[in-house]
Structure 1
Amino acid sequence: MKKSLGRHLIAEFYDCDQKALDDVVLVEQKMKDAAIVAGATIVGSSFHRFLPYGVSGVVVISESHLTIHTWPEYGYAAIDLFTCGEDTNPWRAFDYLKEAFNAKRTQVFEHTRGDYRAIGIPISAPHKAMKGGLYSV
């Protein structure tokens, strides 16, 4: 198995609850809940509701970030879930958000970030979460 510093899910959510996707308070809460479900530590968040509709936001976590941009008029959301460390799992956040926004269809790609070999980290090195902006390996 290829070792890396992080896992990045790029997700497409289709046929979602349009009302939910246009509620900035709800979207922010669901994104924060997803971070917690993934085992992440929330540092902060910033969300904005656009006129006439749509929400964009980010939840910054010690282990990286979760972002969303919604198009309620199409029932669509673009979501990125980037987590680092062995104690976080972006797939848990993905599953939670799929249910939270009632997505009927999804498409998701997983990318590894910070491949150990490309960086020059020994494969046997322990993999630890980001703390204070620095990785400890």
Structure 2
Amino acid sequence: MASTAHLPLGTHLLADLSGIAPERLRDSAALEHLLRDAAIMAGAQVLHSHFHSFGAGLGVTGVVLLAESHISIHTWPECGFAAIDIFMCGAARPQLALDIVKDALQAVHCQLQSVRRAPPQHS
């Protein structure tokens, strides 16, 4: 029987975080460190990450590739807004990763969509 760590079953979280102080959304290195730490604390294995700053005072986009899938962020400091995408399979805990990110960014609001990802069941 296959290990559950290799089955394509997981949770995909799409979170819109708002009410964030702009300075928390501009630092590419700090955001990369935050997302990598959140992944590890949620029980995921980090494979690689890539982050890009759009310039002084502007937003950041970045992705952390995981053995269990990914975490990504795109920020708009001028709006105090960050879009977060967390997809984790296996025993990793995407909600814990989101909670860590949300707390660190001190988001006032979080609009969350959660999708269970799995292949169709065949009879």
Question: Is the counterpart of residue 37 in structure 1 residue 31 in structure 2?
Answer: no
Query: Does 1 or 2 have the higher relative contact order (CA < 8 Å, sep 6+)?
Result: 2
Q: Measure the CA separation in 2 of the matches of 1:5 and 1:38.
A: 16
RMSD: 1.7
TM-score between the two structures when normalised by the length of structure 2: 0.89
- How far did 1:91 drift? 0.4
1:114-129 aligned at under 5 Å gives the runs 114-115=118-119, 118-120=120-122
Shift in alpha-carbon separation, 1:45–1:119, aligned structure 2, 3 A: farther
Q: CA deviation at 1:17?
A: 2.1
Structure having the higher Rg: 1
Q: Give 2:89's aligned amino acid.
A: C
Supply the distance in 1 between the matched residues of 2:101 and 2:21 (Cα, whole angstroms): 12
Q: How many residues align?
A: 116
Q: Separation in 2 of the partners of 1:7 and 1:26?
A: 25
Aligned to 1:25, what secondary structure does the other structure show? helix
TM-score by length of 1: 0.80
Question: Residues 1-137 of structure 1: matches in 2 within 5 Å?
Answer: 5-52=9-56, 53-85=58-90, 87-115=91-119, 118-120=120-122
Q: Which runs of 4+ in 1 moved over 2 A?
A: none
Q: CA deviation at 1:69?
A: 0.1
Structure 1 unaligned runs (5+)? 123-137
| 1-structure distance, mates of 2:53, 2:29 | 9
Q: CA deviation at 1:119?
A: 4.5
Unmatched runs of 5 consecutive residues or more in structure 2:
1-7
Query: Once the two structures are aligned, what percentage of the paired residues are identical?
Result: 43
Q: Deviation of residue 20 (structure 1)?
A: 1.2
SS in 2 for 1:91: helix
